Amino acid sequence: MDVTSHDRPSVPDVPQILAPKDPAQAQALEAERVLRQDRLPGFDQQAVANAHVLVIGVGGLGCPVVQALAAAGVGSIALVDHDVIELSNLQRQLLFGIADCGRAKAEVAAHRAREIAPALTVTVYRRYLEASWILDLLAEENPAVIVDCTDTFATKYLIADAAEITGIPLVWGSVLRYQGSVSVFRTGSTHLRDLFPTTPATLESCAEAGVLGATTAVIGSLMATETLKFLAGLPTLEGQLLTYEALSGTFQNFALSPDPERAPVTDLSAYELPKILLDVREQDERETQVKYPDSLHLPLSATTEDAVRAMLKPLAGECVGVFCKSGARAAKFIKNWDAVAEEYSITLVGI
């Protein structure tokens, strides 16, 4: 089976005409398909064909990344995404159509990738990425490179820290409104925390601030380009930050350097979840998205001072982890009610 799905049934194989069983025929078709790329000077197509890539997040950035890597002849890809396709995704997640709404993003993306490249092997993890299993995931997959296509800084820090611990190179990208950025991080070189020591205070999610769908395609394509350059043995954006501003149509390149005072990450203990969790998602999200059955629940839309005090007072002296789907509402809850929490000696942390 060329598509392996973890925690869900495997996605259907592509039609047999697109997936010849004869290895010689498959190899000949693949060689013809990537012929123009194989002619590039200094480009090691065989290294690309032998490579295994881990793509985390199959949304606005992940869709163009998966599409480009499959088309470029990458040998195998593992996809990690817990989410399902929604109508509001389709403006920028171009691997999906209206008929796919309600289906798992990772599984649909795997099927689309195999339609592009029948020789491609795809492994699907339909799971929420957490510190409790990311190192096991990296040990199991042992990818040549990780591509971070996620959309929350909490997850991006987790991926960057795990990459530093394991020594696996990381292609990183981010997009918001009309802007995006791309870089390549490696152990012993630059790290996401050299660029952003802490989560930006003014951070908003794409759901709140908006995003131009075509901009995600630009940034995702740049991320795929950096991935292919790395696999093919070409120079990458390591030690640099490339930014794109759609309104002005300009690119800028900034030099990055490691922070000599930053201690290397050696474990993920900082990501251990607090014993008490507070879910600020809406009730329908709580029922259909990732579930934490023992968590407390207070939707951000229903927060009043009386409601917050009633929730927090019995938790005096505790550390409470606040979460939502993207992290934006959790950050807003903490900003709005941190002073009240302090009255009860409660520490609020976003997760």
In terms of DSSP bridges, do strands 319-323 and 179-185 run parallel, antiparallel, or are they unpaired?
unpaired
Within 8-61, residue ranges assigned H as helices are: 23-33, 35-38, 45-50
- Closest residue by Cα to residue 152 from 64, 75, 86, 81: 81
For 293-311, b/e burial (b = at least 16 CB within 10 A) is eebbebbbeebeeeebeeb
Task: Kindly tell me the sign of the dihedral angle through the C-alpha atoms of 315, 319, 324, 328.
Answer: positive
- Closest residue by Cα to residue 224 from 288, 160, 171: 171
Strand partners, 251: 244
Please name the helix (run of DSSP H) or strand (run of DSSP E) that holds residue 183, with its range, or none: strand 179-185
From the list 63, 101, 149, 206, the catalytic residue is 206
Is 63 among the residues known to form the active site? no
Is 206 among the residues known to form the active site? yes
CB 276 within 8 A of CB 323: no
CB 125 within 8 A of CB 80: yes
Cα(103)–Cα(122) distance, integer angstroms: 17
Cα 284 to Cα 227, 281, 287, 289, 290: the distances in Å are 37, 8, 5, 8, 11
Residue 174: helix, strand or coil by DSSP? Answer: strand
**The pair of three-digit structure tokens given for residue 76, joined into one six-digit string:** 């195998």
Strand partners, 179: 176, 245
- Closest residue by Cα to residue 245 from 255, 232, 233, 254: 254
Q: Which residues are catalytic?
A: 206, 324
